[in-house]
Structure 1
Amino acid sequence: MKTKTKENDLTPLNVPEKVVWWAIANTYGIWVVGGLYVVGALLGWLLLLFLLIKVLAQTQDTPAEEKISISLSLWIWIAGMLIMEVTLIVGHLDYNLETGLIIKSSIGWAKGWAGLALYPLAGCLNIRPQIIYRAVCIVGFHTLLIIPFLLLTPSLHLPQVLYVSPLKAVGGPGNEFFDVPLYEIDGSTGDLRWRLFTPWGPALGFVGNVYFMLALQEKNKKWRCLGLAGSVVMCFVCKSRLAQVCIVIIPLLTTLFSGLARPKTLIGLGFASYLSGIFSPSIILSFNNFWESFKAARAGSTRVRMALKDIAIYRWKTEAPIWGHGVVEEGPHIVEHMPIGSHHTWAGLLFVKGIIGFMGLAIPLAFSFFDLLIKSTDSRRETAKVGLSIVMILFLYTFGENLEILVYLYWPGLLAMGIGCQEKPKLT
């Protein structure tokens, strides 16, 4: 007689779950050997292989609940990311770039943009979201264990970067994707900040926000508290302004949007809109003051980011509006020679891939938002609510990061989003 698996049993039950569990729960172990970029780049394709095997193994006798079906949202993500590759090739050809560079850039696409379709697509596999939540909480626990030592490292006069992994030989955007840092000193303010297993501080805030929303779903109170605490620590030790704003507003917006079908929420919104109309001058003034203080917190960084965005958009409009330039280019001295098209997903897309590439991300992101918004109003679709929060985090971070370059870190959120897109109402 077979023993039924309890719902709260979080032991991985199949190969995809085991792989996902291993990749998330062992984040710090993989980081120590410099393998996070490699694992994150390959895992999406490995999960695709699992999916293809399952699709090919389907027969007419396969039970309906076990058959693979792909939702419209996921098809749109697949189409959008394929468009990214098309724009990449056309952009290279427009500027007569050599074939070797097209191949190199296509490999970069496979490690970056493709992940925004591959990981949500993996949501079609039989992977329980609870596996992701618990694994993320374990990472949060490990963060709480390691952070006291890392906070002491500047006082101990230890080097900022302990070492760079030999795995950098496989190729990547830079050494920071393979190094093991202890701390870093902000170049514009001179403040200490920590980036843990990410390539730069704001990226840790990005991951921290994704992990916070995932850990929030954990049913076990002890693990939930550890996961949330670890995520909050990530968002604050990185000293990222956007991270600290997101960790407050994303849970609020998620609760608000997912409750739009409830009369209490609608009544509350009506009352709030009435009050906001009365106090609108004070609200606008407060927001303007907040925005100015937000920009002034790291004025040098804000100046460089704004200049990068302005240069990228100007050159997009005047030089390559349809297909873009194909590649990023080194910026002038005013932006400290940072690549044009970096630090802003939308400006980067316009510069590198033109309006076609811009729409290749905008349409899937918008469609997923409305799809998950509708699904999240159904209390029987618990994962859709998580997916909605991930979409909002992605959108906010498009204004401060290049989404494709950090996919290897925040992919657990994309996987949860994919599960949410596939989720069917639970029978009560």
Structure 2
Amino acid sequence: MRNLNPAESIVFWTLAATWPLYMLGALYIVGPVLAWSLGGLACLALFLGPAMRRDLRVAGTVPPVVWAWLGGMALMLVALWLGHIGEGLGLGQTIKSTIGWAKGWGMLALLILAGAVLPIRRIAVVRAQSVVALITLLLLPAMLAAPFIGLPERIFVSPLKAAGGPGPEYFTVYLYTLDPSTWTPRWQFYAPWSPFAGLLGTVIVMMALEEKRWQWIAIGILAGLAMILLSKSRMSLVALVVCTVGPRMLPLVAKSFAWQIAAAAMASLAVFGQALLQMVQGAVGAFKSARADSTRVRETLQRIAYDRWQTEAVWFGHGTVQPGPHIVEYMPIGSHHTWFGLLFVKGVTGVLALIVPFVWQLCLALDDTVRNPRRGRLPLGIMLALTILTFGENLEIEVYLLWPAILILGIHAREIAADRVARPVRSGSDPFSTAPTGSAPAC
């Protein structure tokens, strides 16, 4: 990468250094530091305006969807404080939870702001992710051999855990782990657990498909598929298909022949509908039974969280997750599901604070994918991946590794805003011009 501006250099080299940082147990610290540094730089650029150095100046205004994210995450903090007050959790716990907000929901808003304000190009993020994929492939043989030659699962726990975090797994360097239900090895790469690694593999595949050189495309796809398959994550297998095929099929919705095919398919359901329904039900049953214990724990956690939210703390939640009973293997209530977790921890207020900007961003990606497939398919794939993640994981505690994908969402918001500003100028310059006016900027 040549001619990177300071913001791009920070993003590129931090992302490219993912594996070295993981081997130091530093990823959980670097993620929030990066997000708040970029957010602060974006605020400085907005404040200084034309006085800012040329290669960091803000182009245009902050898009409305970014304001929605900032407002929603600020409301999330207010809900957290009110929940702590209502539950009488004390000042110490409130400060600790506020720091947790800064390393989760706060990061989410700041990354989108940074992507929308700072002149960071997509290619800087995509290429750095390809570098991570290359290092993953280089390390893969040693990681695959580790459980079969007697190497330990865990290498060490970084002393950086003294900085505080959800648990020691965020600062632990693993070669592999053993699935407690089958005692077979699973690999989690640089993530704290295997399903999360599978989702990161899906993101790598999506970004690899944005590359222009076939070598980087092949490297990204191979590394992403390895992470998905070796993590043995069911959620990631679904996400891989939905997030790569879906955005590329969506533009067909605007074509008349697609509606004709859809009409024919709906008519055929009258003949094959019952058989198709049985096939889908069988597939869902097989999907759940693949790791039945995990499915049972997740469903029980969701049911407990919903019941306790409904009967104990509707508006502002319980303020924090709470230890679960033996039936859920003592997993915290409010974890393993973003929406049920928000209901339990932050109540209706927390759900509204996330769902409004989330749906807004998703609608922007859907609309732009139909109008401009080249520009919109990666953001749409990311939003679909985040949507799937929210139904199986807690988005808040995974932002520190998902930051490249979230930064892309802010970049996409900036591209759409810039295109809308430029379109009247281009269309008004030549009333007889037939050139397209909504083309995406080159990566």
TM bracket, shorter-chain basis: over 0.9
Is 2:419 the counterpart of 1:426?
no
Q: Name the SS of the counterpart of 2:105 in structure 1.
A: coil
Q: Name the SS of the counterpart of 1:141 in structure 2.
A: helix
Selected match of 1:250 from 243, 246, 259: 243
Is 2:100 the counterpart of 1:108?
yes
For 1:69 and 1:143, the matched residues in 2 are separated by: 38
Q: If the length of structure 1 is used for normalisation, what is the TM-score?
A: 0.93
For 1:226 and 1:270, the matched residues in 2 are separated by: 40
Q: Does the 8 Å CA contact 1:21/1:135 hold for their aligned counterparts?
A: yes
- The equivalent residue for 2:317 is 324
Q: Name the SS of the counterpart of 1:377 in structure 2.
A: helix
The superposition leaves residues 27-46 of structure 1 with CA deviations (integer Å, 9 ceiling, x where unpaired) of: 10111111111111111111
Q: Which one-letter code corresponds to 2:336 in the other structure?
A: H
The superposition leaves residues 81-115 of structure 1 with CA deviations (integer Å, 9 ceiling, x where unpaired) of: 11110110000000111111111100000001112
For 2:262 and 2:36, the matched residues in 1 are separated by: 43
- The equivalent residue for 2:8 is 17
- The equivalent residue for 2:423 is none
- The equivalent residue for 2:433 is none
- The equivalent residue for 1:374 is 367
Q: Does the 8 Å CA contact 1:384/1:421 hold for their aligned counterparts?
A: no
The superposition leaves residues 150-180 of structure 1 with CA deviations (integer Å, 9 ceiling, x where unpaired) of: 1111112111100011111111111111111
Distance verdict in 2 for CA 1:140–1:157, change over 3 Å: same
Selected match of 1:300 from 293, 296, 309: 293
Selected match of 1:311 from 297, 304, 310: 304
Larger helix proportion, structure 1 or 2? 2
Deviation (angstroms), 1:66: 4.7
- The equivalent residue for 1:95 is 87
Q: Which one-letter code corresponds to 1:193 in the other structure?
A: R
Selected match of 2:183 from 163, 178, 190: 190
Q: Which one-letter code corresponds to 1:191 in the other structure?
A: T
Selected match of 2:212 from 200, 219, 222: 219
Deviation (angstroms), 1:264: 4.1
Q: Name the SS of the counterpart of 1:85 in structure 2.
A: helix
Q: Which one-letter code corresponds to 2:39 in the other structure?
A: L
Is 2:130 the counterpart of 1:117?
no
Q: Does the 8 Å CA contact 1:258/1:385 hold for their aligned counterparts?
A: no
- The equivalent residue for 1:47 is 38
Deviation (angstroms), 1:71: 1.3
Q: Name the SS of the counterpart of 2:147 in structure 1.
A: coil
The superposition leaves residues 237-277 of structure 1 with CA deviations (integer Å, 9 ceiling, x where unpaired) of: 11011111211222121122244323344444334333345
* Structure 1 unpaired stretches of 5+: 1-9
Percent of aligned positions that are identical: 40
Q: Name the SS of the counterpart of 1:58 in structure 2.
A: helix
> How many residues are treated as equivalent by the alignment?
417
- The equivalent residue for 2:356 is 363
For 1:273 and 1:119, the matched residues in 2 are separated by: 42
State the superposition RMSD in angstroms. 1.9
Q: Which one-letter code corresponds to 2:25 in the other structure?
A: G
Distance verdict in 2 for CA 1:168–1:135, change over 3 Å: same
Q: Which one-letter code corresponds to 1:420 in the other structure?
A: H
- The equivalent residue for 2:281 is 288
Distance verdict in 2 for CA 1:370–1:276, change over 3 Å: farther
For 2:359 and 2:267, the matched residues in 1 are separated by: 28
For 2:186 and 2:125, the matched residues in 1 are separated by: 28
